[in-house]
Amino acid sequence: MENKQIIDINNLVKRFPIGDGYFTALQGITLRFVAGEFAGLVGPSGSGKTTLLNLIGSLDSPSEGSVVVLGHEVSRLSHRESAALRNYHIGFIFQTYNLLPVFSVYDNVEFPLLLQKRDAVGRRKAVMEALDWVGLSHKAQSRPAQLSGGECQRVSIARAMVKRPELVLADEPSANLDAKNSHHIIQTMKRLNRELGTTFLFATHDEKVMGYLDRIISLDDGRVARDERPLCVNEAQSDSTAEENGHARRQARI
Partner 1 sequence: MIHFLLKGVLHDRHRSLLPLIVITLGVALTVLGHAWVNGVLGESFVMSAHFSTGHLKAMTRAYAEEQDQMPIDLALIGVKEIMDELAGIGEVDWAPRIRFGGLIDFPDESGSTRSQGPATGFAVDLLTPGSKEIDRFNLTSSILSGHIPTREEEALITYDFAEKFHIQPGDRFTFFGSTMEGSMAFGNFIVAGTVRFGAEALDHGAILIDLTAGQRMLGMPDAAGEILGFFNNNRYDQKEAQAIADSFNARRSGSTDEFAPLMVTMRDQEGMAQLFDYTHIISAILITAFVLAMSVVLWNTGLIGGLRRYGEFGVRLALGEEKSHIYRTLIYEALLIGLIGSVIGTVVGLALALYLQVVGLDMGDAMRASTMMMPSVIRTQVTATDFWIGFIPGLFSMTLGNALSGLGIYKRSTAHLFKELEA
Binding of residue 54 to partner 1 (CB under 8 A): yes
Binding of residue 176 to partner 1 (CB under 8 A): no
Restricting to residues 148-167, name those near partner 1 by CB under 8 A.
159
Binding of residue 103 to partner 1 (CB under 8 A): yes
Return the number of the residue (79 or 253) whose C-beta is nearest partner 1.
Answer: 79
Only one of the segments 103-111, 174-182, 188-196, 217-225 lies at the binding site for partner 1 (rule: CB under 8 A); that segment is 103-111
Q: How many Å apart are CA 229 and CA 226, to the nearest integer?
A: 10
Q: Which of 102, 179, 225, 232 binds partner 1 (CB under 8 A)?
A: 102
Binding of residue 98 to partner 1 (CB under 8 A): yes
Return the number of the residue (164 or 194) whose C-beta is nearest partner 1.
Answer: 164
Binding of residue 94 to partner 1 (CB under 8 A): yes
Residue 26, Cβ density class (10 Å: 0-12 exposed, 13-18 middle, ≥19 buried): buried
Distances (CA, A) of 13 to 20, 51, 222, 228, 238: 19, 10, 9, 22, 38
26 CB contacts (<8 Å, ≥6 apart)? Answer: 12, 13, 14, 48, 51, 52, 55, 222, 223
CB of 94 to partner 1, least distance (A): 7
Number of residues that bind partner 1 (CB under 8 A): 30
CA dihedral 175, 220, 165, 78 (to 10 degrees): 120
3 CB contacts (<8 Å, ≥6 apart)? Answer: 34, 35
User: Using CB under 8 A as the criterion, which residues of the chain lie in contact with partner 1 when the complex forms?
Assistant: 54, 57, 59-60, 79-80, 82-88, 90, 92, 94-96, 98, 100, 102-103, 107, 110-112, 114-116, 159
